[in-house]
Chain A
Amino acid sequence: MAEFTLDCLGEACPVPLMRTEKKMAELSVGDVLVVSIDHSCAMKNVPEWARKQGHNVEIEEIDDGEWEVVIEKTK
């Protein structure tokens, strides 16, 4: 039940998605990953990818044009 963070601020598509994918593979079930993003496309495709994988996802806008995608690994 650990929480991890991934700083993808300033990264362009598809780097945030690829890094999230890689990081999620290292986590164990129940862990939470918080991905920081400021790329408007990544705030759509990272949550979309995670939902397709069946994880629990929440998006929070923490500042103008900056988001945190919270992913809980379920499997």
Chain B
Amino acid sequence: MNAFWLKITSNRFYKRLLKEPFTYVTGAVLLAVFAIAHLAVFSKGWGVTSAFADWGAWMYKLVGGNVDNWAYFSSEKAQKTLSGGFMNDGGSIRNLGIILGAFLATLFASEFKLKKIKSKKQIVAAALGGLLMGYGARLANGCNIGALFTSISSLSLSGWIFWLFLFGGAFIGSKLLAKYFM
């Protein structure tokens, strides 16, 4: 049976489409097309991180916290999202879709492997990096998607300013990485 599957996956069209990586430019064109379609369908640009704040609020609730008097969640829209729950929140489902999409693409390429943590340094890096990204994304009202890609494409000056300072941050990050995390 394995031979049968291997025969399919070694077909040259299969390899082209599902195995060998696309070029960065192909990825860029496809991302642009889907980002435009997203705006056309939902009248809203693609974003990733605002759903993370809702996830945080739900987790906080699970451990007994309450975010109702936080200014960030005070708007009617935010309250509606929070009470609607994960399964009724488009942003959360879209993020889940990204995870599933990457998972499926890796499986179809026959390249899935659970990658374990190699050192304690990685844990520190992941935790610190995650915290910085989370806090930063809230301050800047978005991430590399919402505040950069979608924002620049929306002809917003804020996207370019975000880019400029993100570049500065990446420069500092590269130095830190080389010094402490290699």
Please list the residues of chain A having a beta carbon within 8 angstroms of any beta carbon in chain B.
9-12, 14-15, 18-19, 38-40, 44, 61, 63-66
Contacts and interface: CB of A to CB of B under 8 A. Distances in A.
Contacts, number: 35
A65 B112 contact: yes
Contacts of B113: 38, 63-66
Interface of B: 21, 106, 110-113, 115-118, 122, 174, 177-178, 181-182
By secondary structure, the B interface counts as loop
Pick the most buried of A19, A63, A65: most chain B CB atoms within 10 A of its CB: A65
6 contacts: A10-B115, A10-B122, A14-B177, A18-B178, A19-B182, A63-B113
Contacts of A39: 115
B128 to A, nearest CB: 13
A65 B106 contact: yes
Contact of A44 (B21, B116, B174, B182): B21
B115 A38 contact: yes
